[in-house]
Structure 1
Amino acid sequence: MKDIRKSAVVILLAFVVMTVLAACQGKQDDSPAPTSTASTPASSSDSEVIKEGTIKKDDNVILKELSFVYMDHNIALSDIVDDDKLEGMLGKAEEKKSHTYSANDGTNMDPLIGFTENQYNFPGLVIKTINASEDKKFFIFSIEITSSKFATVRNIKVGDSVEKLKEAYPEGYLIGNGAPEEEDVFRYEPVNYVDFMNFHIKDAKIESIRISTLLY
């Protein structure tokens, strides 16, 4: 009789344990799936300007805007370039000038002491580069366009009218009194007031385009 009672107790305990386990499993199945607390990378905004070639132009709205197009090439501020790369895109320069800033060079550019600036003169185009302080690479900091062969990414060229310019760059503004017979500058500053594009206006037409960044 005792053996029968022991068996009944064991069976009852096993039943209770199985019931409890089933109930716990049901609660786990009904509970909402855990949400990940890992933060997702923030998408790039127009105000994030990555300098000195650390990000591709295609992923950087600002640098892509501050560029010009020639044949199949897009050339922008902060592009890392050398003689061979520029020659491959634009042909051989008519003239190249080079200057290394020093304390006694008469330029009064103390923040640039030790930096070397190169100037490449092409027909209707002048490109200036300077080397970054941490390495020997040269990046573009100034582009001066005086020929209609070179267009901005919004297809604005030397010789275009002020009306067409304003339509293409509604974010820009005139510096000057805006009189058609006088010279003015139409300025386009995408975000940071450091990188900019100036359109020199004369007789209501674009005479030259300057794409530049402040070095200090």
Structure 2
Amino acid sequence: MKALKKSAALVSLAVLLTTLLAGCQENRADSSAAPIDSSDSNSEGNSTDSGVIKEGTIQKNGNVILKELSFVHKDNTIAISDIVDDEKLESMLGKAEEKKSHTYSKDDGLNMDQFLGRTKKQYKFLGLEIETFNTGEGSNFHVTEIEITDPKYSTIRNIKVGDSVEELKKAYPEGNLMGDGATIEEDNFRYTPVNYVDVMTFHIKDAKIESIRISTLLD
């Protein structure tokens, strides 16, 4: 009788072990068939770095900081350091009223030795001037300066010529008036997103924006 009970116990134990082993193998197979993709799990978390402009309305490829140093016209944006040419600019802004080009050389009388061999191009539109530079013969031209005097061109935070100082301060709380603060009859409001090389300057006159200048320091 005892032998029979012992045999039955051994059979039950064998069945239990077989069941547990089958379950482990099934879980292992599921795990290998559907591995966790770490890149997918991180893609959502990294979406905040995908180039969405804080308080901006139009997204732009490239450096997220430089996106802030841009203006909007008819759903197009042009920013500091953008690569442009005549065709690209005029397709977005219309025909330029005036175009100038100069290649720096030792005998041009300008004493700009740091720019020897580089070419500067200037485009003048109604209420807008754009300056571009290249790094040498055959290279691309990059936007280095933008001067806005017409309200039809706005920043990506929807600030334009003619807006009040109060509107400007609300849109750019990171910026500062450059004067002593005693009066805002005429002053400059400076916005520098990350450094003192790439700058947006709003010229204030009679408590309103008279012009907007976006520029980068050339080296």
- The residue that corresponds to 1:61 in the other structure is 64
Instruction: Give the distance between the partners of 1:63 and 1:177, measured in 2 at CA.
Output: 29
1:188 corresponding residue in structure 2: 191
Query: 2:172–2:191: 8 Å Cα contact kept in structure 1?
Result: yes
- Structure 2: how far apart are the matches of 1:75 and 1:189? 17
Tell me the TM-score normalized by structure 1.
0.73
2:154 aligned to 146, 151, 155, which one? 151
Please show how residues 44-55 of structure 1 align to structure 2 within 5 Å: none
User: What is the count of residue pairs matched by the alignment?
Assistant: 192
Matched, 1:76 2:79: yes
The two structures, once aligned, show a CA RMSD in angstroms of 3.2
Query: Which secondary structure does the structure 1 equivalent of 2:174 belong to?
Result: coil
The one-letter code sitting in structure 1 at the alignment partner of 2:107 is N
Change (3 A) 1:162 1:71: same
Contact 2:117 2:137 in 1 (8 A): no
Structure 1 residue identity aligned to 2:120: E
Q: CA deviation at 1:136?
A: 2.0
| Alpha-carbon distance change, 196 to 44 in structure 1, aligned in 2, over 3 angstroms | farther
Q: Who is 1:211 aligned against?
A: 214
Instruction: State the AA in 2 paired with 1:204.
Output: A
* Structure 1 counterpart of 2:88: 85
Gap change, CA 1:158 and 1:115, over 3 Å in 2? same
Residue 58 of structure 1 aligns to a residue in which SS? coil
Letter in 2 for 1:152: T
Q: Indicate the larger mover: 180-189 or 141-150.
A: 180-189
1:127 and 2:130 are equivalent in the alignment = yes
Tell me what 2:202 maps to: 199
**SS of the residue aligned with 2:91?**
helix
Query: In 1, distance between residues paired with 2:185 and 2:104?
Result: 36
Residue 105 in structure 1 maps to residue 108 in structure 2: yes
Give the corresponding residue for 2:167. 164
Note if contact 1:180-1:203 (Cα within 8 Å) is conserved in structure 2.
Answer: no
How far apart are residue 181 of structure 1 and its match? 5.5
3-state SS of 1:128 partner: strand
- Measured after TM superposition, the shift of residue 59 of structure 1 is 4.6
Structure 2 residues without counterparts, runs of 5 or longer = 1-30, 32-37, 50-58
1:58 CA drift (Å): 3.1
C-alpha distance in structure 2 between counterparts of 1:178 and 1:102, whole Å: 43
Distance across 2 between alignment mates of 1:181 and 1:65? 25
**What is the one-letter code of the residue matched to 2:154?**
A
Distance 2:189 2:92 in 1: 28
What is the match of residue 6 of structure 1? Answer: none
**Which letter does structure 2 place at the counterpart of 1:184?**
D
